[in-house]
Chain A
Amino acid sequence: MSTLTTLRGPARVVVRQHRWTLWIAGGLALAGVIILIVTALWSAHVVDAFESGPCSAEGDPGRSCYQPVRDYMDTIFALSKAFDHTATVLMALPLLIGVFVAGPMIARELESGTFKVSWTQSVSPARWLAAKLAVPAALLLAGVSVLTAVLTWARSYADTPYPVQWHDALVFSTSGVLPLAHAFFGMCVGALAGLLVRRTLPALTVSALVTGTALTALTYWRQELWPPRTLTGETLNAAEGMWWVETGDLTSSGERLTQTACSQSASEADRLQCLADHDITGHYLDYHPASHFWPIQLVETGILLALAALALALAFRMLRRRTG
């Protein structure tokens, strides 16, 4: 409690120092929310209007429906793009937050010497850093939560014919708790980069590179974060919503062959011969069902929070060692 009250003064000063950036960020978040709501309502309206008409998007539209169906698909496609764009911005947010914390918030104070003012008031350097992080943390907690919730709602409400794949990177990274974890991670990397590099431009560059690399790597290896389920058989019945990890052939002894050796065969007879030659008796598919959404989300969040905590610990330790 006492920590909170002693942070209030410095936090208010931080808000005053960066009020224009904060206003702009707030304005952009609000604009994002409005765009999402309007797009969702409009999409739903377009879908309703089309479905109450004589035409159907399924099957052969027929001569009279050709143009209406085409217009309808174009409109819906354009609208669903709005979700993708918002999702892309939300995915870039951790980088932007890190850049802001590393550059204008921390490194610029160290570069321009204003840290000498901040650190010689009644507030210790550690409190100064805590206040610098508390302000963006509170704002990103509010802003990212709202944006994620509205985006998730808008995607389901719009109910367009373009299906939303839960495992799509643009979807997975912008739903659940991951956007918050990403943003928090970006902020902590920014703090450490700012303190380490101490010059505005290099610091924000380093922060963006580190955050970008880490998040890209995690996205790349996301499938490995939770053990997949396996489907085997002579023919595979892959269902909608499965996230394919790996597929290949099985021999009679249960050995896995990742190359589908016989897919290039010229004729059916060749193929059967080929299967027999390789002792292939079936196929396998490693996949994540939709129920793995939360386990993967939570493991990735855990990794990011652990890395963020490490960055924070290093940042505070460095500050303490430098100032005594």
Chain B
Amino acid sequence: MTGAAIEANGLGMTYGRKRGWALRDCSFRLPAGRICALVGPNGAGKSTLLSLAAGLLRPAEGSVRVLGSTPAEARPRIAYVSQDKPLYPQLTVADTLWAGAELNPATWDRAAADRIAGPLPQDAKVRALSGGQRTRLALALALGKRPELMLLDELMADLDPLARHQLMGLLMAEAAEHGTTIVMSSHILTELEGSCDYLLFVDGGRVRLGGESDDIVAAHALVTGQARDLAPHTVVESRTTGRQLTALVRREGPLDDTVWDVTEPSLEELLLAHLRSPEAPPLLTPSAHARQEVAAV
């Protein structure tokens, strides 16, 4: 069995007593080698989760382990790109890549960085770059580190569709070649849907869905039919128009398709339904269950 890229146990984070919990009681496991979409509405705790995994913050409670060790110990093997793409404004593009080599002497892969940063004006100061160019440079810095785990917070937000497509292609090629685990957060699912095989859905500071995207989708069904009791299935969301019932349910055993018109929901429908129904219970597939400390082999 492959190891865990990230394993959180009862992870919680607060930025001060008045502001409440940014993340609370988060337990999940992300197996290594996955491309994971970390989705959720604004303020759900996605950035906090990524910062904790990157070792930028210390958890207020619980623990997070990354690549089998603490985030601090795993620092050389993690790359992180923050939402606002901070870079040293007074350095040029070439200087920034040089700094990447100086700060990651053991792992720096110049060719990988150049593949991403190639189209950028090498002598331009970072402060003169456009948002999209900064994203490209930040990603070049992250890929040049040749990490085992990439934590990308809203990476693509500043990019036009063409650049997004191109960078995503490069990123996926690198990940496939080196077996890199990638966690990409976004509040726009469609941005990630095509590329990711794993899903973490965070809402209100908690993980509500976690696991292989296919398995999560397959665990749910969109049913329509005459209004009646849906037991034993878990109803995530339902709507009745006249005697017609439309519902998104979590399957607990087979669905009777003689009574119901059953279709598979899209991932987006699934997430929207969960967003509208905060009381729906969380679902983690077996691979996404945190194994506590006992599982140490």
Contact = CB atoms under 8 A, between A and B. Distances in A.
Interface stretch (B16-24, B72-80, B169-177): B72-80
B76 A122 contact: yes
A117 B102 contact: no
B107 A122 contact: yes
22 contacts: A9-B105, A10-B102, A12-B102, A16-B91, A16-B98, A112-B86, A113-B86, A114-B87, A114-B89, A116-B51, A116-B80, A117-B82, A119-B55, A120-B80, A121-B104, A122-B105, A122-B107, A123-B75, A123-B103, A322-B58, A324-B55, A324-B70
Contacts of B82: 113, 116-117
A271 B106 CA distance: 86
Contact of A121 (B58, B89, B100): B100
Contacts of A281: none
Interface of A: 9-10, 12-13, 16-17, 112-124, 321-324
Interface residues of B, number: 36
Given A113-B82, A113-B86, A116-B80, A13 B102 contact: yes
A300 B28 CA distance: 56
Nearest to B64: A324
A116 B59 contact: no
A323 B88 CA distance: 21
Given A117-B88, A121-B103, A324 B57 contact: yes
A124 B72 CA distance: 7
B102 A124 contact: no
Nearest to A119: B56
A124 B51 CA distance: 15
A114 B54 contact: no
A123 B105 CA distance: 10
B145 interface: yes
User: Could you tell me the dominant secondary structure of chain B's interface residues?
Assistant: loop
B107 A117 contact: no
A121 B98 CA distance: 13
Contacts of A113: 82, 84, 86
A24 to B, nearest CB: 14
B86 A120 contact: no
A324 B89 CA distance: 27
B90 interface: yes
A155 to B, nearest CB: 39
Contacts of A119: 55-56, 75
A320 to B, nearest CB: 9
B90 A17 contact: yes
Contacts of B88: 17, 114, 117
Nearest to A126: B72
Top 8 nearest A-B pairs by Cβ distance? A324-B58, A121-B103, A113-B86, A9-B102, A122-B76, A120-B80, A116-B82, A114-B86
B87 A120 contact: no
B86 A116 contact: yes
Contacts of B99: 13, 16
Contacts of A322: 57-58
Contact of B59 (A9, A122, A124, A324): A324
A124 B107 CA distance: 15
A114 B70 CA distance: 22
Contacts of A321: 58
User: Could you tell me the dominant secondary structure of chain A's interface residues?
Assistant: helix
B297 to A, nearest CB: 24
A120 B107 contact: no
A120 B79 contact: yes
B153 to A, nearest CB: 9
B128 to A, nearest CB: 16
B26 to A, nearest CB: 16
A324 B13 CA distance: 13
Given A10-B102, A113-B86, A120 B91 contact: no
A318 to B, nearest CB: 11
B193 interface: no
Contacts of A118: 103
Nearest to A13: B99
Nearest to A324: B58
A121 B57 contact: no
A109 to B, nearest CB: 9
Given A16-B91, A121-B145, A323 B57 contact: yes
A185 to B, nearest CB: 28
Given A12-B102, A16-B99, A120 B56 contact: yes
Contacts of B91: 16-17
Nearest to B78: A120
Nearest to A321: B58
B95 interface: yes
B141 interface: yes
Given A116-B86, A120-B79, A122-B76, A16 B57 contact: no
Centre residue among A10, A114, A116, A321 by max chain B CB count within 10 A: A116
Centre residue among A17, A120, A323 by max chain B CB count within 10 A: A120
B105 A120 contact: no
B210 interface: no
B86 A323 contact: no
A322 B141 CA distance: 24
